[in-house]
Amino acid sequence: MRIATWNVNSLRARLDKVVGWLATAQPDVLLMQETKLADEAAPEMAFGMAGYRLAHHGEGRWNGVAVASRVGLEEVVSNFADGPLRPAGTDAPDDEPGAEARMIAATCAGIRVVSLYAPNGRALDTPFYAAKLAWFERLLAWLQASASPDEPLVLAGDLNIAPTDLDVYDPAVYVGTTHTSGPERAAYQALLAWGLVDAYRLQHPEGGRYTWWDYRAGNFHKGLGMRIDHLLVTRPLAARIVGAEIDRDARKGPTPSDHAPMWIDVADA
């Protein structure tokens, strides 16, 4: 079973690329982030024609998460099961986690999958950064209350954290910035302590492999990236991982997302 995650940076703008990638990479489940669509605009027909059912949780021009599956789609939960998003008090896209579409979960072929789009944080010592840390606390509390590390679960998406110095092209560049700060990395480690394993690292312990590159200054072609997208799995699944890759080719070509898709292959139980 192949499970993939991809921050598509606008599903409307990238729909042809995503559908084409589904045909090429053949994931059984694709978790998407930053769809930037309202639920009524989600392209269910396009995914259906490709053989996938789509569950979408969106709010419009910001954020948005989705699960596309060709192996079943059951028990869909969004917004940490807290009910509808509350109205946003500001127009900022990442300082009000309770008003933002950043989490959706479903069960696909007996595996619980969770698609996440963590807040960016913008800069240290700002309300945006505090909201990011609070969002991770909320995520951990939801896991503790509604999931078990002894059951097959995949928690994946754009977590906006590079967990170690191996996950950035130059650690010195990120001193004093978000994505690599001590509290953010501690929030990531708390997920592992709960019972998750970095599935990609099981297959690729080396550095220099990234999922995001800034659009500016040709950073992709220069290899100046970060690994901020992740596929975290519980130990029952970790024992079944037989492959993992980042598809850099999907970052090429006209109008790409600034993220590349990542996938894992899980052997049958």
Residues of the chain with pLDDT under 50: none
What amino acid occupies position 116?
Answer: L
* CA–CA separation, 132 and 233 (whole Å): 22
With left for phi above 0 and alpha for psi between -120 and 50, is residue 36 left, alpha or beta? left
Enter the CATH code of domain 2-266. 3.60.10.10
* CA–CA separation, 217 and 196 (whole Å): 35
* CA–CA separation, 7 and 35 (whole Å): 8
Distances (CA, A) of 199 to 19, 235, 252: 25, 10, 25
Tell me if 119 sits within 8 A of 187, measured CB to CB: no
Q: Check residue 189 and give its pLDDT.
A: 98
DSSP letter string, 80-95:
GG--SPPPPSSS-SSS
* CA–CA separation, 189 and 183 (whole Å): 10
b/e 51-65 (16+ beta carbons within 10 angstroms → b)? ebbbbbbbbeebbbb
Domain extents in the chain: 2-266
Q: Check residue 91 and give its pLDDT.
A: 73
* CA–CA separation, 143 and 194 (whole Å): 8
Q: Check residue 93 and give its pLDDT.
A: 67
